[in-house]
Structure 1
Amino acid sequence: MATTSSSSASIGLIIGCIIFGLGSLIVAHVDIGGWAMAFWRLVISGVIFAILAKMTGQRLPSSRPAIVYGLLSGVFLGLDLALWHESIYAVGPGISTLLNSLQIFFLAAIGFLYFGERQSSLQLLSLCLAVLGVAMIGSPEFANNTAATWGFITGIVSGAMLAASMTFIRKTHDTEPTPIFMLMQLISIGGVLAMILPMLVFDSGHILPNSWSDIGWILVYGAVMQCLAWGLIAYSIPKLSLAVTGLLLLTEPVAALIIDYSWLGKPINTLQWSGALLTMLAIYLGSLKSKPRALYRYRFFARFYRRK
């Protein structure tokens, strides 16, 4: 029975991660700006989570700092999404998703600087491997792609923004435990408000979808990637060991790389594939000894789903 449950959880986690990888394909396909895409994703998910919060009777936290922290988490999540989208446009879904996955190292740095969490030798080794892997990926890209610098900067910074978003989620819960649907509604509101000005400035003329097909894909992106994928991941993670979880979470950048190479025709040479494998090994090793940080992106959902 336990084996069956573990097998189902593994399948659920893989499907959730693949759905996330497919999200980058939607971003590359729909002709609107990266900031606008982040805005619409958060609007759609915000409406869904507001409905779910109403149906389940969840309320706002009574602590004003908890509300502020939740909104700030949304601000940084919006920045993460927008910069990740910009990286997708510049270097493709595969490389951009892999760069975004480096957020575990930013989480480790935040944990060290602000929460006094000590780093192990394995974590330091994984960081060195990640730097080498990114260099291997980047060297051919910089030689052949004039937008590579922008793509790598936005991809890496998007990981930092995601780490900041997770940190404010942690501060929200430390201040006052907040029900999951209400928390996600706060995050969506904060992200939507933060996206309005940069969207108007940077994506002028590319804010609204141009066809019913684009509208449909945006709805799928907001509902499926932000809600369904999270639900699958949240359901699966508590049922698996940390080592298996860390390995299966790499399905997301692997799926994005394969989609980018086979479906979108992105040229990826042997050196870049080797760098990608090395970077994913570094991410896996970093996750093994940093459970509260590396997997916090997913585990905070699981914590509250188990309470329902």
Structure 2
Amino acid sequence: MTVASTRSASIGLIIGCIIFGLGSLIVAHVAIGGWAMAFWRLAISGIIFALLAKFTGQRLPRSRRAIVFGLLSGVFLGLDLALWHESIHAVGPGISTLLNSLQIFFLAAIGFLYFNERQSILQLGSLCLAMLGVAMIGSPEFAQNTNATWGFITGIVSGAMLAASMTFIRKTHDTEPTPIFVLMQLISIGGVLAMIVPMLFFDRGHILPNTWAEVGWILIYGAVMQCIAWGLIAYSIPKLSLTLTGLLLLTEPIAALVIDYSWLDKPINTLQGSGALLTMFAIYLGSLKPKPHALRR
């Protein structure tokens, strides 16, 4: 791979992650419930991916199991988004996005339990560092924020839901290779269907936008954050080394923390800042997979 293609892929990945971070700012400012916001994001992106699949001639997989796995991936992605939104409202975009990024450790656990993937000493050590970093972030937050418990629970569980969603994407492809636009369409449908009941129950009175400006922000959130940002990330990751990918993916929580501190006036003291840096370093270490001889399938 040429230096120019590596550079362009790196820039694309960074831009995609920064756009994701900016998405949390929309969630924080639009007066819509977390479950409803997930519903609209997936509904808008689902329409876009359905049109793209039709225009490109991509078709549904023949295997019913593959379709079911794609829909289940969407169910867990919907839960991930809704819980992440709840965490944003409770503890702010920065901390919530950092907690969501802990999904790498849930993926490692799923790989160990279901795919017989061994974990390296480096990955186990990174988990301990991440736990210490989260404790450093949480200690002052619990002292000054009555919603901290809910924010940390939803943020961490959202990471687990994202890991489950990614696992079902893998199972979809293992069952039958599925074109990207069709796969994202299935994921959107599964997520939308899963959001209807909890949205009506938890977000009653906060489901519909109140102004045309909020309509615009919701459209941007669904089209730009779910489609363009995911597209940039999906395009860039296969073109980069695993080490560089793990490092650049950390621009998402970094961007969210900067937004939280500078635009939303979120108080972040030295202990929390150090904990955030330690957690991001641990996430980077956890993203490094063992060498091939250490893997067993």
Give, in whole Å, the separation in 2 of the partners of 1:217 and 1:171.
Answer: 33
- 1:7-42: CA deviation from partner (whole Å, max 9, x where unpaired): 211111111100000000000010000000000000
TM-superposed CA distance for 1:176, in Å, is 0.8
Contact 1:122/1:289 (<8 A) preserved: no
Aligned CA distance change for structure 1 residues 120 and 100 (closer, same or farther; 3 Å): same
Q: SS of 2:31's equivalent?
A: coil
Corresponding residue of 1:105: 105
Give, in whole Å, the separation in 2 of the partners of 1:284 and 1:112.
Answer: 19
Which consecutive residues of structure 2, in runs of 5 or more, have no partner in the other structure?
Answer: 293-297
Query: AA paired with 1:61?
Result: P
Q: SS of 2:38's equivalent?
A: helix
TM-superposed CA distance for 1:235, in Å, is 2.0
Identity of aligned residues (%): 87
TM-score of the aligned structures, taking structure 1 as reference length = 0.93
Corresponding residue of 2:216: 216
Contact 1:130/1:279 (<8 A) preserved: yes
Corresponding residue of 2:74: 74
Q: Over aligned residues, Cα RMSD in angstroms?
A: 1.2
Give, in whole Å, the separation in 1 of the partners of 2:59 and 2:94.
Answer: 39
What does 1:125-274 correspond to in 2, within 5 Å? 125-274=125-274
TM-superposed CA distance for 1:243, in Å, is 1.2
Aligned pairs, how many? 292
TM-superposed CA distance for 1:182, in Å, is 0.5
Give, in whole Å, the separation in 2 of the partners of 1:273 and 1:116.
Answer: 36
Q: SS of 1:264's equivalent?
A: coil
Query: AA paired with 1:48?
Result: I
- 1:254-289: CA deviation from partner (whole Å, max 9, x where unpaired): 000000000000000000000000000000001112
Moved more, 92-101 or 172-181: 172-181
Corresponding residue of 2:54: 54
TM-score of the aligned structures, taking structure 2 as reference length = 0.97
Query: AA paired with 1:151?
Result: G
Give, in whole Å, the separation in 2 of the partners of 1:156 and 1:171.
Answer: 23
Give, in whole Å, the separation in 1 of the partners of 2:115 and 2:165.
Answer: 15
Which consecutive residues of structure 1, in runs of 5 or more, have no partner in the other structure?
Answer: 293-308
Give, in whole Å, the separation in 1 of the partners of 2:227 and 2:122.
Answer: 33
Give, in whole Å, the separation in 1 of the partners of 2:290 and 2:264.
Answer: 34
- 1:74-119: CA deviation from partner (whole Å, max 9, x where unpaired): 0000000000000000000000000000000000000001111001
Contact 1:106/1:160 (<8 A) preserved: yes
What does 1:113-132 correspond to in 2, within 5 Å? 113-132=113-132
TM-superposed CA distance for 1:224, in Å, is 0.3
TM-superposed CA distance for 1:291, in Å, is 9.6
Q: SS of 1:222's equivalent?
A: helix
Contact 1:108/1:290 (<8 A) preserved: no
User: Is 1:5 aligned to 2:5, yes or no?
Assistant: yes
Give, in whole Å, the separation in 2 of the partners of 1:75 and 1:112.
Answer: 23
Query: AA paired with 1:175?
Result: T
Give, in whole Å, the separation in 2 of the partners of 1:10 and 1:141.
Answer: 34
Aligned CA distance change for structure 1 residues 250 and 74 (closer, same or farther; 3 Å): same
Give, in whole Å, the separation in 1 of the partners of 2:14 and 2:22.
Answer: 12
Give, in whole Å, the separation in 1 of the partners of 2:58 and 2:201.
Answer: 36
Q: SS of 2:117's equivalent?
A: coil
TM-superposed CA distance for 1:234, in Å, is 1.9
